[in-house]
Each structure stands twice: as structure tokens, then as C-alpha cells.
Amino acid sequence: MGNRRKFIRTAGLATLGAMSLPQMLKGRAKQYSGGPGNESSIPLVLSTWQHGLAANQAAWNVLSRHGSALDAVENGVMQTEADPGGQSVGLGGLPDRDGKVTLDACIMDHFGNCGSVCFLEGILHPVSVARLIMEQTPHVMLAGAGAQKFALENGFKITELLTGKSRKEWENWKRKSMYQPVINIENHDTIGMIALDEQGNLAGACTTSGIAFKMHGRVGDSPIIGAGLYVDGEIGAAVATGHGEMVMKTLGSFLVVENMRRGSSPLKACEEAVKRITEKVKDYEKGQVGFLAMDTKGNYGAYSIHKGFNFAIRNQEENELIDSESYLP
């Protein structure tokens, strides 16, 4: 409640008389001037890549019924986790070089609470395990067998995540690759989602099976709070997608939020974080990273190393994919 009051005060809406809070927020014009597609009404959900459209719809089903951003992002990315067609997240994810599907996920709320799992096998909804860690344990992150034990103790069931299609692709890869993991810019489209609910609360979630045919035991940026995802209820939220090692080396999502804290728009903040990668990470042009961010008013932006990164937006008026700006053509 305290937070809600604060949001109303900050937004300067307390004097608008008989309108409900959702009406007031929805009708408010955004101040973002970073280019087309960067203004939005609240509630609002954004997520990375094309599979974000279906995930956003699942999140929107929560937000449009006055639900919380936290429930929305969990529900949203669960849709992708359960979709066998998405080969970089959850069920159907491409395995590591040993043929194991290992999962990374995290979730973070408006108030800085967060939970995370990494190197988790056989659980359909790692994001929900991450949320349970956040809400039921004194810890932030559980890994591998410990994370799976925790999940099973809390009612999750073992699910075979390796589909026939992904197994076949792994077998083809093994024949050609001589077991060498490679950096590629195709097989890493993590879903990251950030949302702002009608109460003015932010939340984010991130979930992935990681880079295809990675070394067994490899963990990427997605479950690392500050790398794959960061939320600060006073400032904004950011998620990363793409080549996790580059994001981890620059703590990308935290950097985006800190850039916004220093006054950058969400678009500029993402651009600055991409530029940091280009300055600090050798061979950055061999990989792809995209950042997606929003501030507490629902202004948003995205920026990637290479052209081709898109993100999905869903609010009352919009339900579409938008191409990000990029450092390289």
C-alpha cells in the first residue's frame, strides 16, 4: 500500500478526482522521446524475441485482470517453458554437448526480492522453482541436483525435456562438431520478460535452456541477478538475451538499470550497455546480445549488438513485435 501511495504521488495523479487508478494510468501520455514505439500505456508487458508474443498474451491475461506484475511474468514465461517448439527454453530446449537439457531461470520483484535456479534438469517450470526459492527460502539461488531436490520436495515432477526433434539436432551436431561447443548467434533466444502492473509495480523473469550444445555444467547469464535480469522498483527493469558470457562479463541488466538511474532513457541505457560490451569483450561481433528495458512510467527501449533482435509488446492498445536498434548493421 505504501508503495502504491508513493507511485501515485510520484506520478502526480492524486488530484485527478474520481477516475480509478487504472484509468488514470492508462490515459496518461508517456514522455519518452527516443523514437517510434517507445511510449506505452500501463499495464504493460515486454518480452524478448518472437516467442514473446504468446508469452505476453499469458502475462496480459493476468495484468488485464488487475493481477500483479510478478504473477504476470511468471505466467508469461511459463507459456514458453511449456512450448516444445521453442528450442532454447524449457521443454524442447536443445541439450548440452552430452545430450542433457539443463535449465537456468530467475525472477525478481519490484522490491528487490529475487530467486534463481541454474543447471537444473528435468523440471518443466524452472521459473516457478525460482519463485519458490525467492518466497520460501533464505537463499537467492539453488543449483543442479540441489535445485532439483528442492523442486521435487515441493511438488514439482520430473519431466523429460529432450524432444525427438532436439535429440536429432544434437546427434547431427555431434557428428559434425567433434564435440566442440561454438559461439553461435542463432541458438540462444532466452525469453526475458518485464512487466509493469496497474499498481505501478515492476517485475521480471528470465528462463532458458542456454546456448545449444554448451559444455555440461555451463551456466549462462539468465539466472544471474544483475546479468540476465535486474529490477529496481525506484528506477526500472531490464533483461538480456543472447550470448550469456558477454552479458555476465559486463553485468548487463544491472548496468542498464544503473544507466537509467543516472538519467538515461531505457533505449539509451540499453545502447550504453551494448557499447560497454563492444569496449570490454573481445570478439563481441561473433555473438549477439540484446537488452530490453522499461522505466517506472512504462517508457521502454531495446538495443542489440547485431540487427535482428526483436521484442514483443502487449498492453491495451498494442500486441506486436518491434525491431530493436543495433550497434552493427
Burial of 28: CB neighbours in 10 Å, binned 0-12, 13-18, 19+: middle
Kindly write out the interface string for residues 86-125 of this chain, putting x where it contacts ligand GLY by CB under 6 A and - elsewhere.
Answer: ----------------------------------------
In the complex with ligand GLY, which residue's Cβ is closer, 80 or 208? 208
Contacts of 113 (CB under 8 A, 6+ apart): 134, 135
In the complex with ligand GLY, which residue's Cβ is closer, 169 or 318? 169
Bridge partners, 105 (sequence order) = 117, 207
Rounded CA gap, 255 and 34, in Å?
19
At its nearest, how many Å lie between ligand GLY and the CB of residue 305?
Answer: 13
Total binding residues toward ligand GLY, as defined by CB under 6 A: 12
- Answer for the pair 247, 284: CB distance below 8 angstroms, yes or no: no
In the complex with ligand GLY, which residue's Cβ is closer, 190 or 326? 190
Pick out residues in 169-188 that bind ligand GLY (CB under 6 A): 188
In the complex with ligand GLY, which residue's Cβ is closer, 222 or 324? 222
> What is the gyration radius of the CA atoms in the chain, in angstroms?
19
Is 190 a known active-site residue?
yes
Closest by alpha carbon to 108, among 213, 240, 301?
240
At its nearest, how many Å lie between ligand GLY and the CB of residue 247?
Answer: 6
At its nearest, how many Å lie between ligand GLY and the CB of residue 223?
Answer: 9
At its nearest, how many Å lie between ligand GLY and the CB of residue 104?
Answer: 6
Pick out residues in 199-258 that bind ligand GLY (CB under 6 A): 208, 210-211, 220-222, 241-244
β-strands 229-232, 202-208: how paired? unpaired
At its nearest, how many Å lie between ligand GLY and the CB of residue 181?
Answer: 12
Q: Which of 190, 207, 241, 296 is catalytic?
A: 190
In the complex with ligand GLY, which residue's Cβ is closer, 146 or 181? 181
Q: Using the rule CB under 6 A, which residue among 190, 201, 207, 264 binds ligand GLY?
A: 190
In the complex with ligand GLY, which residue's Cβ is closer, 250 or 315? 250
C-alpha distances in angstroms, 240 versus 136, 141, 192, 253?
Answer: 26, 18, 7, 6
The CA-based angle 319-94-275, given to 5 degrees, is 60
Pick out residues in 284-323 that bind ligand GLY (CB under 6 A): none
At its nearest, how many Å lie between ligand GLY and the CB of residue 246?
Answer: 9
Binding residues (CB under 6 A) for ligand GLY: these are 188, 190, 208, 210-211, 220-222, 241-244
The catalytic residues are 190
